[in-house]
Amino acid sequence: MNRVEANMVGFEIVAHAGDARSSLLEAISAAEKGEFDKAEQLVEEAGESIKEAHNAQTQMLAQEAAGEEVEVGFIMVHGQDHLMTTLLLRDIVGHLINLYKKG
């Protein structure tokens, strides 16, 4: 996979992780207002976006594992950063929603 192809995967990961992040932040706001069904739906939507980002990442990992050279540039690193911070946010949002439910 050349750098241009890797960059395209990186952009795809950024887009999906960004969608997930937006849904997760909306979920916190919904939970804060006591709209728990909406919050849970937004977390599910985020999960679908995370799945899409993960699928793009897995495609690249599989190619490298198969022995194909993968040229990774800063855009791909940026995509990985977005995905990892979004995964962390997902975990935190789950805990926050539970805290708001108890509140």
Q: Is 54 a catalytic residue?
A: no
Q: State pTM to two decimals.
A: 0.91
* CA gap 12, 68 in Å, rounded: 20
Q: Provide the CB-side half-sphere exposure for 3 (13 A, CA).
A: 3
pLDDT at res. 41: 98
Residues 24-34 have pLDDT tens digits of 999 999 999 99
pLDDT at res. 103: 79
Residues 37-49 have pLDDT tens digits of 999 999 999 999 9
Q: What are the residues whose beta carbons fall under 8 Å from the beta carbon of 15, sequence distance 6 or more?
A: none
Of residues 54, 78, 82, 95, which has the active-site annotation? 78
